[in-house]
Structure 1
Amino acid sequence: MQITETKKKSFLSGLTGQILIAMVLGAILGIILHNSISPEAAQSFSNKIKMLATIFIRLVQMIISPLVFTTLVVGIAKLGDIKAVGRIGGKALGWFFTASFISLLIGLFYVNILEPGVGLKLAHVDIATASEVTAKTKSISFENFVEHIVPKSIIEAMATNEILQIVIFSIFFGLAAASLGSTVKPVINALDKTSHIVLKMVNYVMNFAPIGVFGAIAGVFAVRDFQELAITYFKFFGSFLIGISTLWVVLIVVGYVFLKGRMTELLRRIIGPLVIAFGTTSSEAVFPKLTEELEDFGVKNRIVSFMLPLGYSFNLDGSMMYMTFASIFIAQAYGVHLDLGTQMVMLLVLMLTSKGIAGVPRASLVVVAATCGMFDIPVEGIALILPIDHFCDMFRSATNVLGNALATSVVGQWEDDKESEIASEI
């Protein structure tokens, strides 16, 4: 009896337990208010309570730029040469593109098998709600993609948290530092100490996570009739959950193949980041905490600092799966037939257009809207999925975190094996 009470107390006092409790309380409060006050009052409450989530996410965002820069520069400097950077980068990109392809394929498979958009009634769709997203589709182009990769100012990139641009600058900075050898060791040591200070800040910021999650969940449930959404979007959301669950199974199985028994420990360590990402619909919100957990898991700092920033731009497995699923869903709803060849072309287009847009608000929806436009699918169809998108985003964000944690851990193990092999040959 005593043991049970101790475990219960430990769970409630832990961050993950507090976040789960905050999610439940937020949902209860939101549902009560939705059913007891006017829609205008509910919207006003939602706008105010969501500020708690905004504050938490902003606290995290203020950490991301210095954390990415310091850890990545130190990591590359410790790697010591371009060959090592190229080797790890090659493995990373190989993993990212393979994972993206599989994720897109899963979405394509289930949307064709389950056909959630067939027979959907469009009479009550508010097309005007899609204007915010469709207005951003002009930003999805090859020219914009190139501009998005290369920073014109590192200060601007840090100010706007453009992770991919910070990564590019940090790689050049780190390689230059490595080439200068011991003469710049004081600079690298200073950056190393700075990264530890920033990681200490992570612990302070994460204390606000339950409050942020509470605000996010309460705000959504206050303005959304969950029962009505469940009835209207049962087939779409149910099909999506089947697809995302399949992706989780694939990722976890792959994890056990490469990490074996250590995969269980990895899952245990990332429960907290997964729950935060789920509650806030922001994988960015857990970047600092995920960095810390992966290092505690045993992945070397130089690998984590190299892999995670890249992963946040190139390895968004949950978002990938959703993009093909949502695009074909809209086509089905409007009766637009796409043969298998066209769908495969769409998949390849999504492989490219989705990279490096993590910093775009509602990035998945923007890419879906742009893709629909390319294939003559009514772009305003994005309004079909807007009412349920927040709930889909919860699962997408958590899946993105799982995918990046797995990729970083596996590449880290590959590098450990490589170093052991080199050491045994000497």
Structure 2
Amino acid sequence: MIRLQLHWQILIAIGLAIAVGLGINLLSQNNPASAAPFLSTFSFVGTLFLNALKMIIVPLILSSIISGISTLGSSNDLRRLGGKTLGFYLASSLFAILMGLFLVNIIQPGIINGEPAGERLNLSSQEEVGANLDKIEGRGTGDVAAVFHRMLPPNIVQAAAEGQMLGLICFGLLFGFFMTRIASPMRETLVNFWQGVFETMMGITLFIMKFTPIGVFALVANTVASTGFKAFVPVLTFFFTVVLALAAHTFITMPLILKFLAKVNPVGQYRGMTPALLTAFSTASSSGTLPITMECMEKNVGLSNRTVSFVLPLGATINMDGTALYECVAAMFIAQAYGLDLTLATQFTIVTIALLTSIGVAGIPSASLVAIAVILSAIGLPLEGIGMLLVTDRILDMMRTAVNVFSDSCCATFIARSEGETTQIAAKS
């Protein structure tokens, strides 16, 4: 029996959900009461799926960050190569997030004809979640300082219980770093413990993701049954906003970095990376594309194996420009759909958490789904808007994976040039 891959199952679930939802919507126009049992069932199943996502957030984020940082901290090359590599990855991800933030504020996909798209997306009304929304919208620029306070929570257990993810992420970074500085055998014990927790959480995540088609079907069918075709206008606007932001980062920001910092011809980088970019787009997997990326950078671009073997595996684990950009735009889109005018403090929080979660959860399946849940929880928004994001997620996942891989290659080129290497594309430029 042929077993379909998960993304095909999700696509089929979306198609069925649209068909079933439209059928129920047409039925309810003649008899409104007839749709109630279907809507309550869809809502029940969708809530179960969202609750499962919430359940894994804290242990997954904490274990992935601690285990990942502990591995980096044990590297002998961390001080020089590692420092420059991490600095580039953080900077490029920040540029990507800011590009997404700029365009989502200009285009405003969550606003249709001057009105919030929450009703079209079948989101809860402001009356139902009004207290939280007022709290979010009421923040001012003076609350930026509070963001830094939340980075160091006085009670880490309470922070976990309340979903204060920014504090947990910072705690995980500090714990993972200093864990590698203690003496043996305690160091090995802690490293093995957190690696075991991470692998266990990966197993739980994979188990939950098996039910993604069911959750997607319930969430999408519930929205379509309630709103009909009205939901597709804001979703498509969001889709094109993300595509435009990814294109701007790939064809404007990164070429400028290559041209003025690495001193190489960007066209040569695109040409040399073409096989890897096509593979990344088709597989939507940075890790799966890694062998081809390394081969392209060595043979086509002309980098040394020393640089490639250090920079690219690290990038496939922690550098996710496209994912970070997508997280930011998605969170802003949902906030706009609720009719919120987010202040500088809240947008600063979104940028910070998007940057940190793009590192912390990059290596897990459906990383963006968990990361968006983290951001929405951190700023106090419900998770119900995630369901409609999954309608276009597969195509966007392919695109942002290609952006992730290209950013990794740009970092490798920059590091090689900073180490005095002469690449093939530098020689031709």
Task: Give the TM-score band, short-chain normalised.
Answer: 0.5 to 0.7
Q: State how 1:136-175 maps to structure 2 within 5 Å.
A: 136=132, 137-139=134-136, 140=139, 141-175=143-177
Residue in 1 that maps onto 2:16: 25
Letter paired with 1:58:
N
Equivalent in 252, 262, 265 of residue 276 of structure 2: 262
Change in Cα spacing, 1:152 to 1:404, as seen in structure 2 (3 Å) is farther
Distance 2:323 2:243 in 1: 21
Q: Find out whether 1:194 has 2:187 as its counterpart.
A: no
Comparing 415-424 with 131-140, greater Cα deviation is found at 415-424
Please, which runs of 5 or more residues in structure 2 have no aligned partner?
256-268, 291-310, 354-371, 422-429
Overall identity of the aligned pairs, in %: 18
Instruction: Check conservation: 1:26, 1:218, Cα contact below 8 A.
Output: yes
Q: Can you give the 5+ residue segments of structure 1 that lack an aligned partner in the other structure?
A: 1-8, 271-292, 332-345, 368-388
Structure 2 vs 1, CA of residues 86 and 76 (structure 1 numbering), >3 Å: closer, same or farther? same
Query: What CA deviation, in whole Å up to 9, does each residue of 1:286-336 have, x standing for no partner?
Result: xxxxxxx5444439776566556x998887342377489879x999xxxxx
Q: Deviations over 1:338-386 (max 9, x none)?
A: xxxxxxxx9977752533565464889969xxxxxxxxxxxxxxxxxxx
Q: CA RMSD of the aligned region, Å? A: 5.0
Q: Which amino acid in 2 is paired with 1:177?
A: M
Alignment-derived partner of residue 93 in structure 1:
90
- Change in Cα spacing, 1:252 to 1:415, as seen in structure 2 (3 Å) is closer
Query: 2:329 & 2:158 partners in 1: Cα distance?
Result: 29
Decide whether the 8 Å contact of 2:25 with 2:224 is kept in 1. Answer: yes
1:330–1:65 distance in 2 versus 1, CA, 3 Å:
closer
Count of residue pairs brought into register by the alignment: 348
1:107-158 per-position Cα deviation (integer Å, ceiling 9, x unaligned):
455469xx9647x89xx99xx9334455334244325423443333333344
Give the AA of the match of 1:263: L
Per-residue deviation, 1:172 = 0.9
Greater per-residue helix proportion: 1
| Residue from 51, 57, 61 that aligns with 1:68 | 61
* CA deviation profile, 1:384-416 (whole Å, cap 9, x unmatched): xxxxx7787457877986787567545655666
Q: Give the whole-Å Cα distance in 2 for the aligned partners of 1:404 and 1:238.
A: 17
3-state SS of paired residue (2:126): helix
CA–CA separation in structure 1 for the residues paired with 2:86 and 2:72:
12
Instruction: Report the TM-score when normalising by structure 2.
Output: 0.61
Instruction: Give the alignment's TM-score, normalised by structure 1.
Output: 0.62
CA contact (8 A) 2:273 2:406 kept: yes
Give me the whole-angstrom Cα distance separating, in 2, the residues matched to 1:24 and 1:107.
27
Structure 1 partner of 2:223: 220
Residue equivalent to 2:101: 104
- Distance in 2, matches of 1:27 and 1:419, equals 47
Partner of 2:348 in structure 1? 352
Cα pair 2:25 2:225 within 8 Å, conserved? yes
Quick check: 2:101–2:329 contact (8 Å CA) kept in 1?
no
Note the 1:28-39 alignment, pairs <5 A.
28-37=19-28, 38-39=31-32
Once residues 163 and 196 of structure 2 are traced to their aligned partners in structure 1, the CA distance between those partners, rounded to angstroms, is 21
